[in-house]
Amino acid sequence: MHTVSLPSIHLRDLAVSRLIVGGNPFSGFSHRSAELDTAMTDYFTGERIRDTLLHCERHGLTAMVLRGDRHIQRVVREYRNAGGQMHWIAQIASELADLPGHVRHLASLGAAAIYHHGSRTDNLWHAGRLDEARELLAVMRATGLPVGLASHLPEVIERVEEEGWDLDFYVCSAYNLNRTERESQLVSGVRNDNGEVYDPADRDRMLGVVRTVGKPCLMIKVLAAGRHGTTPEATRAAFAYVLERIKPEDGLVVGVFPRDHDQVAENAAIVRELCSDRALP
């Protein structure tokens, strides 16, 4: 498969492209509207997800951040059967009953890294039970894979850093969607994103924390769930804003919905251009 290279970063000993494809659109989760959720669900058949992932590979992406639920497990299998080689950074499916068993199963399926679901992290924080996330990270560590923790809350990242948790990377949301306890739609099956706030002050707060953390951070919601990606110029501005403010070892995780134009090629070209600019990290 012919590919064009992208700059890379490391999650412990795992080298991945600095631009990583995210998986929310593959599951019909837009963070925008019921209509867009439906459009994504209709568009992303198993075959189209497989082809989109292969297209990402051709444009230099070497990693995918996807959930670990049964639907995505099947998708990853079809992608592998088609020759796909991208590393799977697996988010735990926190709706499952046996999470330690689930973690071990993801490792057996060939996940290259595993991380703790951000909404579960944040709900545990609000409930005063954050140490439960730490216990599950120990199960992940026992698999031998790079271990990560996701959160929408900068204060969670700060606390975990202060306490020196045993992990290799963070997945950090540019926007704080979990000011109060909130269950992900992919866990609850019920739309609950009507009250989501995309406040620029949140982005600056999280970026300030990311800049000071001693581990690689993967930034999600960089385009505010597509709100900042309506044109190539808007996408470039949002990518540039974040890349100028994070560390050289940090990356971007961006989902795509390429029904109307080639967002994969567009995003890869923008990141390649921005990262070749000496003004950026």
Distance in angstroms (rounded) separating the CA atoms of residues 170 and 234 = 26
123 phi/psi in degrees, rounded to 5: -65, -40
Q: How many structural domains comprise the chain?
A: 1
pLDDT at 158: 97
What is the 8-class DSSP label of residue 234?
H
| Nearest CA-CA partner of 247 in 207, 277, 211 | 211
Nearest to 171 by CA among 13, 15, 3, 22: 22
pLDDT at 224: 76
Does residue 218 sit within a domain? yes
Q: Whole-angstrom Cα distance, residue 200 to residue 221?
A: 12
Tell me: the pLDDT tens digits for 20-76? 999 999 988 777 788 889 999 999 999 999 999 999 999 999 999 999 999 999 999
| Cα-based distances in Å from 226 to 30, 169, 257 | 8, 25, 9
Return the pLDDT at 24. 92
- Residue 78's CATH number: 3.20.20.70
Q: What number of CA atoms fall less than 13 Å from residue 104's CA on the CB side?
A: 5
Rounded to whole angstroms, how far apart are CA atoms 148 and 153?
15
Expressed as residue numbers, the domain containing 204 is: 8-276
- What pLDDT is attached to residue 73? 97
Q: Is residue 168 part of a domain?
A: yes
At 88, give phi and psi (nearest 5°): -95, 110
| Residue with tokens 């990242």, as numbered in its chain | 157
pLDDT value at position 192?
52
Strands 14-17, 8-11: pairing is antiparallel
Q: Is residue 170 part of a domain?
A: yes
Buried b (16+ CB within 10 A) or exposed e, 231-248: eeeebbebbbbbbebbbe
Compute the C-alpha angle 62/66/68, nearest 5°. Answer: 130
DSSP-assigned letter for residue 191: -
Amino acid type, 261: H
Q: Is residue 3 part of a domain?
A: no
Report which of 1, 67, 78 is spatially closest to residue 255, judged by C-alpha positions: 67
CB 149 within 8 A of CB 171: yes
- What pLDDT score was predicted for residue 279? 47
pLDDT at 41: 93
- Whether 107 maps to a domain, the answer reads yes
Residue ranges for the chain with pLDDT beneath 70 = 1-3, 178-195, 225-226, 229, 277-281
Any alpha helices (H) in 82-153, and if so which ranges? 99-108, 118-126, 131-142
Q: How far apart (Å, rounded) are the C-alpha atoms in residues 52 and 254?
A: 13
The answer to whether residue 144 sits within a structural domain is: yes
User: Is residue 1, in this structure, part of any structural domain at all?
Assistant: no
The tokens of 21 are what? 């494809």
